[in-house]
Structure 1
Amino acid sequence: MKVLIINTSECTGGAAIAAGRLMEALNKSGISAEMTVLHKKSNKPYVFSHVSPIRKFMVFAFERLVIWANNLFSRKNLFKVSIANTGIDVTSLPEFQRADIINLHWINQGMLSLDEIKRIIKSGKPTVWTMHDMWECTAICHCAYECNKFTEQCGECQYLRFPRKNDLSHKVFLKKLEIFQNSGIHFVAVSSWLKNQAKKSTLLKGCDISVIPNTLSLSDFTISDKADCRKQYKLAEDKYIILFGAARIDDPIKGFNLLTKSLEYLIMKYPELEDKLHLVLFGNIKDKKLIEQLPINHTYTGTINDTKELSKLYSAADVAVSASYYETFGQTIIEAQACGCLPVSFGNSGQSDIIEHKRNGYLAEYLSVEDLAEGIVWCLKHRNEISDEYLRKTVKDRYDISVVAEKYVNLYKTLNTKENENTVN
């Protein structure tokens, strides 16, 4: 069985990392898996990109141009929505032709158009679509926040400058509805929360939806000696190290403002801890002035792309905080646990699949900066009662590459069998 994974990027972004890890896991499990992308970074022979730099720019820019024009040339929310009005032809590619199963992942910003998705469906190849955010079940947004218009028919979109009943979101919704109905696509949500959101959507009504989490290579994320790791990053051995990281720290959805308020509350309620706390930040940030507003001492490492180095940073920390408004999964949480670091997060979305409250982390009341602070304190107090090995085992049992690969292989086999039976009949 040959599987083709389709994702916009090979390496950039959480979905790309998850898709790449799945590809590696499938190949290790004996399944022939290839990947086609718009943006290729490595020299891996089973990752393909057939698009010229000019073409890449054109498909990306044209979609943004249409969104920009519909918002009367306002840049606000320009990258919070996608309309999939342009993309590349994948059905004619040799890797598509030789594949038995097609597995779509994050395909926005110029990878696939809705018309190309329709052609993929018409090819008759069994298709799995792994959802890394809410775009598949909404019209144009990647995160709906509190909006529930996707449960009916989108329109009056909060991300558009002049929302109205028949706005851009409603038009895209109707086109997606036409494509998704009776498409035969099997959707995979990376968390129970995301599946529940998808099941509410008019777009995915009647579609098959499974939950298969993202995977993690435990050979990349390991437990290292805490003292040695702190020396490497020049972190004091006698401090409590709090870790916070994301692809982009100041992405509004990551809740940097909530983290800051939580730390302010923490040192107000527990003043004896102020001099004992040290915050470490990793990831890209556009506005570095935000870091200057932090109420405790801190270190900013910048972006860390090497998983071995990131593993050492987790090992150096006592607690890892996720303050996101929403997480479809919670990749940094399982990375932290795999390295023996206790996580704290809100319990409203995908994180609740990973963290068992006060057993392998702390789930705070949603948007409560006070409870987020209490979660940090709880982890610091109980850190020595929860072994590194136990935290790592919770990851191995649920997210190890062999565990997740097996779930996908079983799904692929089921779909392939159904397709063969339909062909015979």
Structure 2
Amino acid sequence: MILHLSTFQLEGGAAVAASRIHQAQRNQGLDAQMLVYRAQKPAAGVTAYADTPWKNKLFWARFSAERLSFLPHEKDRSARFAFSPAAVGLPLHQHPLVQQASVINLHWINFGFLSLPGLQRLFSMGKPIVWTLHDMWASTGGCHYSRGCEHYLSHCRACPYLAKPELYDLSFQVFEQKRALFENAPVAFVAPSQWLGQITQSAALTKDLPTLVIPYPIDTKLFTPRHKPQLRQKLGLPADKKLVLFVGANTQDPRKGFSFFKEAVQKLHAADEELEILVFGKAQPGAYDGLSVTVHNLGKLSDSTHIAEAYAAADVMAVPSLEDNLPNTVLEAMASGTPVVGFRTGGIPDMIDHQINGFVADYRSATSLAEGIDWVLKNTDTMKLAEQARQKVLDTYTEAIVARKYQELYNSLL
């Protein structure tokens, strides 16, 4: 039995990706189970550790304790959830599913789910461990994305996320704990993108451990092209406008690059009044205030079909992330036949083939981002562009392809 361990079931991109990997394996006949701290909705093979009201209250207590352990060290609020010391966790090695598992597949396990000592106890059980990486955390002294810092290549220290970056600061201490953890560890890393794979293979902590690149899967039956005019009528969207999609996650997080998107669409709108913006997802109040462009906000969508429809209704999607592993949003849009424009960073160039199924913009350039959006909107063969975006997904990211690669990895470890 394969057991997936993830703090969350569906909260955040890493959790969504972990759930999709688990479900893809089950759909292909693998004996896969998933243990999460809290389950947002019932799903086959998913077990919540917090299965009583009391355990659910303890979830928030552990989450708070883990965050409070970092509070004296954080530089400012922007670092609050960007660095995890993994000081607090659960005794998961005692859980029946962990005891029964043949292979344990770790995912994103922070915020009080697994501590570093808890990971050590799992490793000591002698079971093969696959760790699917959703950010850089396994390779650093605590940060999830390094924001350009390269200390992880030698030894974390003087961390820019910390209030007092010093030679022997918290990042140095966490780095030392991880170095002891990974010594002779029965673990193989899976990086969803070539970018994260290269980081894992060059980082001082993880370079001597095996790393394989296996992308995220996507349900191509759910995320599929749809009849755009009919769909726009259903969603109350204009049929004659050029809709640029932005999926709002955290418009205040500099890593998401919203300021570049804002500048790009305002440049375009000055020359093309038919351009309008389509957004969905949670965002800070007033996030889209000040835009001279009409914004159609569908709000936070929880139903999978409604989400898939929103992707299919757009003409193009912009992903201005400055650091990202393999964004689910890009897969979802391309599977829906909506070309994507994104910066040349992280795993985005893995997915977008420049001017074949989308546009890869120059890093941190709002001008290049605008050029890419304009290129897609003015493409003379929009049907072919949409078909090639979907074909890239069918060739690379289907459940069957991804599940088979995981099965081969599990078999090699067993």
TM-score by length of 1: 0.93
d(CA) in 1 for partners of 2:140, 2:280 = 31
Q: Deviations over 1:257-298 (max 9, x none)?
A: 110111222234xx2x1x201101111112x22301223111
Aligned to 1:11: 10
Q: How does 1:93-112 map to 2 (within 5 A)?
A: 93-112=95-114
Structure 2 portions without partners, runs of 5+: none
Asked whether the equivalents of residues 7 and 105 of structure 1 are also in contact (C-alpha less than 8 Å), the reply is yes
d(CA) in 1 for partners of 2:148, 2:347 = 15
d(CA) in 1 for partners of 2:205, 2:292 = 45
Count of equivalent residues: 409
Instruction: Choose from 44, 69, 92 the match for 1:90.
Output: 92
Instruction: Choose from 277, 280, 285 the match for 2:278.
Output: 280
Aligned to 1:303: 300
Instruction: In structure 2, give the amino acid aligned to 1:41.
Output: Q
Aligned to 1:403: 401
d(CA) in 2 for partners of 1:246, 1:79 = 18
Instruction: In structure 1, give the amino acid aligned to 2:366.
Output: V
> CA distance change for structure 1 residues 249 and 71 in 2, over 3 Å: closer, same or farther?
closer
Identity over the aligned pairs, expressed in percent? Answer: 34
d(CA) in 2 for partners of 1:363, 1:217 = 24
Shift of 1:302: 1.4
Shift of 1:71: 3.9
d(CA) in 1 for partners of 2:91, 2:115 = 9
Instruction: Choose from 177, 181, 189 the match for 1:179.
Output: 181
d(CA) in 1 for partners of 2:293, 2:405 = 43
Asked whether the equivalents of residues 78 and 253 of structure 2 are also in contact (C-alpha less than 8 Å), the reply is no
Shift of 1:70: 2.8
d(CA) in 2 for partners of 1:267, 1:40 = 42
d(CA) in 1 for partners of 2:62, 2:387 = 47
> CA distance change for structure 1 residues 333 and 56 in 2, over 3 Å: closer, same or farther?
same
Shift of 1:182: 1.9
Asked whether the equivalents of residues 247 and 303 of structure 1 are also in contact (C-alpha less than 8 Å), the reply is no
d(CA) in 2 for partners of 1:389, 1:266 = 25
Asked whether the equivalents of residues 249 and 283 of structure 1 are also in contact (C-alpha less than 8 Å), the reply is no
Q: Deviations over 1:202-239 (max 9, x none)?
A: 11021101100011011211211101111122111111
> CA distance change for structure 1 residues 331 and 45 in 2, over 3 Å: closer, same or farther?
closer
* 1:63 matched to 2:76: no
Q: Deviations over 1:182-218 (max 9, x none)?
A: 2121000010001111122111021101100011011
Asked whether the equivalents of residues 357 and 385 of structure 2 are also in contact (C-alpha less than 8 Å), the reply is no
Larger deviation: 379-388 or 57-66?
379-388
Which aligned runs of 4 or more in structure 1 are off by greater than 6 angstroms? none
Asked whether the equivalents of residues 105 and 131 of structure 1 are also in contact (C-alpha less than 8 Å), the reply is yes
Q: Deviations over 1:329-387 (max 9, x none)?
A: 12111111111111000012210100100001000010111010000000011152525
Aligned to 1:27: 26
Instruction: In structure 2, give the amino acid aligned to 1:392.
Output: R
Instruction: In structure 1, give the amino acid aligned to 2:10.
Output: C
Name the SS for the 2:225 alignment partner: coil
Structure 1 portions without partners, runs of 5+: 417-425
Instruction: Choose from 338, 349, 354 the match for 1:352.
Output: 349
Name the SS for the 1:302 alignment partner: coil
Aligned to 2:171: 169
What RMSD, in angstroms, separates the aligned Cα atoms of the two structures?
1.4
Name the SS for the 2:113 alignment partner: coil
Q: How does 1:225-304 map to 2 (within 5 A)?
A: 225-268=227-270, 271=271, 273=272, 275-286=273-284, 288-304=285-301
Asked whether the equivalents of residues 181 and 203 of structure 1 are also in contact (C-alpha less than 8 Å), the reply is no
